[in-house]
Chains A and B, each alone.
Chain A
Amino acid sequence: MKSLLKKSFVAIGIVAFLGGQIAYSAVDPDAVPIVSNLPILDSKTGTGPDGNIRVLWDINPGTTTYTGSVLWILDNLGNFLAAGNPSIPAGVGYGGGGAKSHILVQGQADGNTTLVFPLGPYSQSPSTTTEFAVWTYNSAGQLIAAVVYGPYNGWVVEDIRFSPTGDFTVVWTDGSAPAYGGSTGAVVAWTLNEFGSIATGTPSFGPYGNTFLGKVDLDQNNLQHWYWTTTASGLTTLTLWGFNGAGQIASSNAFGPFN
């Protein structure tokens, strides 16, 4: 009986897999972050480019019990170096339900640590993040930079994403995609440095019919790359834009549609 049940599950799995392949025979670019702007799901503990380890302690995690977070900086052997001062207050660490804080943590090559707090009522699809704050601690745990951006009429933060260089992008949109990550409205993307200072900002692009912006990321020179998808008759075209340091489009390449 047990063996029969097992075989049935395997058979159902195979049928579902093949069915999925047949139903989605079009070729889609995997350019849209279905889960974007969701540090709540990710671990904030890890090694930075300076070799030091950052640990974020969530204090009394829980929707109604959370009382803040504390950053620790450890060396590569796990020896304690410093704790962030001041600690992170509860009001910015929790965007909504769940059991983890809603903070992005990025170690920097120079030993600093950049924290980004998405602010505003929490919802991902569509995004309801209307502001964000940035705090930067030095390697001794001293706060050396702080800033808050927003809110702007009708605009939400669609995505915040660190690059390996330590800079990060913030995508603002007036049309957050309702079901997945991505933007269907007008879009502006900022590049910020480790101190939360705006280094580059693009003009507003879009909205474009049947086209939405998936991911925005940075290359090794901190130049932005945008990934657009346009869908027509069930087929999708991927368009890549590369920006120069002045926030102008320097390159545009389209691929597809393929079937």
Chain B
Amino acid sequence: MRSFAILAIGLVCCGLLVWGLVGRNSKAERTQPEPTPSVALLPVATPTADRPIESPSPEVVALVTPQASATPMIQQRQQTGTLPLGVSPNAVNPEVYKKLPGVQPPLINYDGRDIGPEALNMLKTRREPVPMPGLSDENRKEKPFPKTVQEANGQVQATASPSP
């Protein structure tokens, strides 16, 4: 009778031990970090010659774009002034581009609008080669390597420089 009681207590203790271990493991599994979105398993879209510029599908982008947290996101506008966050009023020096005829300055988001579609169109546009701005073929003939600053600057003094 005594040995039966000892056996029963032993079984209960083992049961409790197993239950505790199993419970702990399952808790550890639940606290594992979320797996990184697997881009390898995403649907594949093969680029084609007639469709060379293609944005990733919204589903694909959504998988690598985490949900916004409850914390307020960075404000889209600067606290002072009316320029969008990150935009400087001196982003472009127009004087430089006056010396580069035909060269378009960057599209700057001064008003906070979505310039994404314009930027994507810019990439899709096929451009024909034009002469390097401010240079003539005369500039491209082989010359002796200049030995002094004066000699070097003298070789190019007739060449337009886009610097301000």
**Chain A residues positioned under 8 Å from B42 (CB to CB):** 59-60, 67
Q: A89 contacts which of B54, B65, B92, B163 (Cβ < 8 Å)?
A: B54
Interface string of A137-170 (1 = CB under 8 A from B): 1111011111111111111000000000000000
A95 in the interface (beta carbon within 8 A): no
Give the CA-CA distance A237 to B92 in the complex, in Å: 38
Q: B123 contacts which of A70, A133, A139, A199 (Cβ < 8 Å)?
A: A133
Q: B142 contacts which of A85, A148, A208 (Cβ < 8 Å)?
A: A208
Q: Which of A15-23, A35-43, A241-249 contacts B (4 or more CB under 8 A)?
A: A241-249
Q: B74 contacts which of A65, A87, A92, A140 (Cβ < 8 Å)?
A: A140
A198 touches B96 (CB 8 A): yes
A64 in the interface (beta carbon within 8 A): yes
B159 touches A146 (CB 8 A): no
Q: DSSP class of B's interface residues: helix, strand, loop or mixed? A: loop
Give the CA-CA distance A239 to B119 in the complex, in Å: 40
B61 in the interface (beta carbon within 8 A): yes
* Contact (A151, B127) CB under 8 Å given A67-B45, A142-B84, A203-B159: yes
**Chain A residues positioned under 8 Å from B66 (CB to CB):** 80, 83
Give the CA-CA distance A147 to B103 in the complex, in Å: 10
B85 touches A60 (CB 8 A): no
**Chain A residues positioned under 8 Å from B32 (CB to CB):** none
Q: B86 contacts which of A68, A80, A112 (Cβ < 8 Å)?
A: A112
B85 touches A143 (CB 8 A): no
B108 touches A145 (CB 8 A): yes
Q: With CB as the reference atom, state the residue of chain B lying closest to A153.
A: B129
B86 touches A57 (CB 8 A): no
Q: Which of B1-9, B13-21, B22-30, B131-139 contacts A (4 or more CB under 8 A)?
A: B131-139
B56 touches A58 (CB 8 A): no
Interface string of A222-259 (1 = CB under 8 A from B): 00000010100000000101000111111110100000
Give the CA-CA distance A87 to B93 in the complex, in Å: 28
Determine how close the nearest CB of chain A comes to the CB of B160; give it in whole angstroms.
Answer: 7
* Contact (A147, B106) CB under 8 Å given A82-B74, A111-B86: yes
**Chain A residues positioned under 8 Å from B65 (CB to CB):** 70, 83
**Chain B residues positioned under 8 Å from A58 (CB to CB):** 39
* Contact (A82, B73) CB under 8 Å given A152-B129, A195-B91: yes
Using a CB–CB distance below 8 Å, which chain A residues touch chain B?
57-61, 64-68, 70, 72, 79-83, 85-87, 89-92, 110-112, 117, 130-131, 133-140, 142-155, 172, 174, 185-186, 188, 190, 193, 195-209, 211, 228, 230, 239, 241, 245-252, 254
In the A-B complex, the 7 residue pairs with the closest CB atoms: A138-B86, A91-B53, A247-B163, A146-B119, A147-B106, A201-B162, A68-B56
Some 23 contacts from A to B, beta carbons below 8 A apart, are A57-B64, A59-B42, A66-B47, A67-B60, A72-B64, A83-B66, A89-B53, A92-B53, A143-B119, A144-B84, A145-B108, A147-B122, A174-B140, A197-B91, A197-B93, A198-B162, A201-B96, A203-B159, A204-B135, A208-B143, A230-B145, A241-B152, A246-B161
- Beyond A89-B53, A89-B120, A193-B91, 15 additional pairs, beta carbon < 8 A: A57-B64, A60-B45, A67-B54, A86-B120, A90-B56, A144-B87, A148-B125, A149-B103, A152-B132, A195-B108, A198-B96, A198-B103, A204-B132, A239-B145, A249-B152
